[in-house]
């Protein structure tokens, strides 16, 4: 199976473009030429790795090769201002446009993440997993025209409940292209360019379908609009909504699912919520789910000596999230390790090769290991928080 190296080349192109502009600003013509050649070579590799975009990347590579051979003499470069005050050369409007498109495409595809997470890797969340599984399955089945798959799904709930893991599992189980979009990836340092990046992102997702575009901390990108909302943020929001509307077109049968996660769904305005008709509450795990999570994270060294019912009840009373339970298991394991290896720190004087010849002493976990761990793991979620989530879910969520 061919390995998709788009993400690696995309990152390199972004860095090379930054290096190119730095060299240009210093007047180092040799470095400018070298950087342009490097960008051209990277674009050729992108063409080889993306048959559907081969002509686009080869055309851009040809332009950058021409740029490398036509560097303006020092002091003769025409310069224009970008919106944010960053200077860039006007070698020619055509090469500038192509290089800009390539840069946005590269930045967008740097969000591509290879995920191996599958549904069975997630403990608990049975109802949530079922709803997401249905969403993915129905999009791939032959179906009547009146049965339309969801194009936007909002996952909301307290922090650490597994929203990102669910998105990864949806992509991993399907073998879909997974665009894991972080705020810093699209809130471009160039004023107003985030909307262009979003368009490049969705164009890439459509070409690499089946695709899942996942926006983490979605509220930070699209909070309820007010007078303080910047023009750049407004363009970004408009770009996301416009592209999602395009995916909902009756003639569009491509599988591009937008998943968004938020800890504060009440910060999203009505226009945003309308694009996510399926809103799934990812709540704190109940005791049965907690037991499943503990078994996943403590399978080695084992939990046969642990009263899992007791540990699960205590975790639920403490309002632990899935992430908190993972930390609890890690702390319990370390408590066991310290007991069995009291002089462990003294081995730090040994060379690494010698450490590789030795084996850590372990035993199955016990209740006391968890008892000490409970004192160190604190949940930030309160009863009032849970009431707020329940109330919002009753009014806007898929109960």
The answer to the question of residue 387 being in a domain is: no
pLDDT at 35 over 60: yes
Query: How far is Cα 25 from Cα 16, in angstroms, rounded to an integer?
Result: 14
pLDDT at 44 over 80: yes
pLDDT at 341 over 70: yes
The answer to the question of residue 207 being in a domain is: yes
Query: How far is Cα 297 from Cα 365, in angstroms, rounded to an integer?
Result: 12
The answer to the question of residue 398 being in a domain is: no
Both 261 and 172 in one domain: the answer is yes
- Contact of 271 with 241, CB cutoff 8 Å: yes
Tens digit of each residue's pLDDT (9 = 90 or more) over 196-216: 788 888 888 998 989 999 998
Lowest mean pLDDT among 101-115, 204-218, 340-354, 362-376: 101-115
Residues of the chain with pLDDT > 70: what percent?
80
Both 23 and 69 in one domain: the answer is yes
**Residue 378 has what pLDDT?**
93
Segment 267-281 shows an average pLDDT of 90
Both 272 and 293 in one domain: the answer is no
Q: How many domains does the chain have?
A: 3
The answer to the question of residue 82 being in a domain is: yes
- For CA atoms 275, 277, 278, 279, give the dihedral sign: positive
Both 339 and 225 in one domain: the answer is no
Both 269 and 291 in one domain: the answer is no
Residues 269, 278, 296, CA angle at the centre, nearest 5°?
110
Segment 291-316 shows an average pLDDT of 94
Segment 78-89 shows an average pLDDT of 37
**Residue 92 has what pLDDT?**
47
Both 102 and 121 in one domain: the answer is no
Both 278 and 293 in one domain: the answer is no
Lowest mean pLDDT among 9-18, 182-191, 273-282, 375-384: 182-191
Better-scored residue on pLDDT, 169 or 13: 169
Task: Give the CATH number for residue 119.
Answer: 3.40.50.300
**Residue 249 has what pLDDT?**
62
- Contact of 310 with 367, CB cutoff 8 Å: yes
**Residue 306 has what pLDDT?**
94
- Residue given tokens 């720190």 in the structure block: 345
**Residue 79 has what pLDDT?**
38
- HEC sequence for the chain: CCCCCHHHHHHHHHHHHHHHHHHHHHCCHHHHHHHHHHHHHHHHHHHHHCHHHHHHHHHHHHHHHHHHCCCCCCCCCCEEECCCCCEEECCCHHHHHHHHHHHHHHHHHCCEECCCCCHHHCCCCHHHHHHHHHHHHHHHCCCCCCCCCCCEEEEECCCCCCHHHHHHHHHHHHCCEEEEECHHHHCCCCCCCHHHHHHHHHHHHHHCCCEEEEECCHHHCCECCCCCCCHHHHHHHHHHHHHHHHHCCCCCCCCEEEEEEECCHHHECHHHHHCCCEEEECCCCCHHHHHHHHHHHCCCCCCCECCHHHHHHHHHHCCCCHHHHHHHHHHHHHHHHHHHCCCHHHHHHCCHHHHCCCCCCCCCCEHHHHHHHHCCCCCCCCHHHHHHHHHHHHHHCCC
pLDDT at 71 over 80: no
pLDDT at 362 over 70: yes
pLDDT at 351 over 80: yes
Both 190 and 251 in one domain: the answer is yes
Segment 279-294 shows an average pLDDT of 95
pLDDT at 91 over 50: no
Both 151 and 277 in one domain: the answer is yes
Both 46 and 195 in one domain: the answer is no
The answer to the question of residue 21 being in a domain is: yes
CB neighbourhood size of 6 (10 A): 22
**Residue 14 has what pLDDT?**
75
- Contact of 197 with 188, CB cutoff 8 Å: yes
258, 284, 310 - which closes a domain: 284
Which residues lie closer than 8 Å to 67 by C-beta, 6 or more apart? 36, 91, 95, 99
**Mean pLDDT score of the chain:** 82
Both 21 and 147 in one domain: the answer is no
**Residue 94 has what pLDDT?**
45
For the chain, the first-to-last Cα distance in angstroms comes to 41
**Residue 360 has what pLDDT?**
93
Residues of the domain holding 258:
113-284
**Residue 81 has what pLDDT?**
37
- Contact of 225 with 234, CB cutoff 8 Å: yes
Query: What tokens appear for 317 in the block?
Result: 């009373």
pLDDT at 84 over 50: no
Tens digit of each residue's pLDDT (9 = 90 or more) over 48-67: 777 767 777 788 888 888 87
The answer to the question of residue 397 being in a domain is: no
Q: How far is CA 338 from the centre of its chain?
A: 35
66, 88, 110 - which closes a domain: 110
Query: How far is Cα 55 from Cα 47, in angstroms, rounded to an integer?
Result: 7
The answer to the question of residue 172 being in a domain is: yes
- Contact of 306 with 367, CB cutoff 8 Å: yes
Residues 282, 143, 242, CA angle at the centre, nearest 5°?
60
284, 313, 347 - which closes a domain: 284
Tens digit of each residue's pLDDT (9 = 90 or more) over 102-160: 677 777 788 888 889 999 999 889 999 999 999 999 888 888 888 888 889 999 999 99
How would residue 72 be classed by pLDDT, with cut points 50, 70 and 90? low
Both 18 and 144 in one domain: the answer is no
The answer to the question of residue 148 being in a domain is: yes
Residues of the chain with pLDDT > 90: what percent?
45
């Amino acid at each position: 199976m061919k390995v998709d190296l788009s993400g690696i080349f995309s990152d390199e192109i972004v860095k090379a473009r930054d290096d190119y502009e730095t060299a240009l600003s210093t007047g180092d013509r040799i470095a400018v030429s070298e950087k342009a050649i490097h960008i051209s070579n990277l674009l050729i590799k992108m063409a080889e790795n993306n048959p559907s975009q081969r002509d686009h990347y080869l055309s851009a590579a040809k332009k950058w090769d021409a740029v490398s051979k036509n560097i303006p003499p020092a002091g003769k470069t025409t310069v224009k201002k970008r919106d944010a005050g960053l200077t860039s050369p006007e070698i020619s409007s055509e090469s500038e446009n192509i290089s800009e498109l390539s840069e946005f495409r590269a930045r967008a595809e740097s969000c591509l993440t290879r995920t191996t997470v599958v549904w069975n890797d997630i403990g608990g969340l049975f109802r949530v997993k079922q709803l997401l599984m249905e969403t993915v399955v129905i999009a791939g089945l032959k179906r009547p025209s009146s049965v339309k798959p969801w194009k936007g799904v909002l996952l909301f709930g307290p922090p650490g409940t597994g929203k990102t893991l669910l998105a990864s599992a949806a992509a991993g189980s399907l073998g879909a292209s997974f665009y894991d979009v972080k705020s810093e990836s699209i809130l471009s340092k160039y004023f107003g360019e985030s909307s262009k990046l979003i368009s490049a992102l969705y164009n890439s997702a459509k070409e690499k379908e089946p695709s899942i575009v996942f926006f983490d901390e979605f509220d930070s990108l699209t909070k309820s609009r007010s007078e303080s909302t910047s023009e750049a943020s407004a363009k970004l929001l408009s770009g996301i909504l416009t592209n999602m509307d395009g995916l909902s077109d009756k003639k569009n049968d491509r599988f591009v699912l937008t998943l968004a996660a938020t800890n504060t769904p009440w910060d999203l305005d009505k226009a945003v919520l309308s694009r996510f008709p399926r809103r799934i509450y990812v709540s704190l795990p109940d005791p049965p789910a907690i037991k499943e999570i503990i078994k996943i994270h403590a399978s080695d060294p084992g939990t046969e000596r642990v009263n899992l019912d007791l540990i699960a009840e205590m975790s639920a009373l403490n309002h632990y999230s899935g992430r908190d339970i993972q930390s609890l298991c890690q702390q319990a394991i370390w408590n066991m390790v310290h007991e069995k290896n009291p002089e462990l720190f003294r081995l730090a004087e040994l060379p690494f090769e010698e450490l590789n010849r030795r084996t850590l002493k372990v035993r199955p976990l016990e209740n006391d290991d968890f008892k000490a761990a409970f004192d160190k793991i604190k949940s930030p979620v309160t009863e009032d928080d849970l009431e707020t989530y329940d109330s919002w879910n009753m009014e806007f969520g898929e109960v």
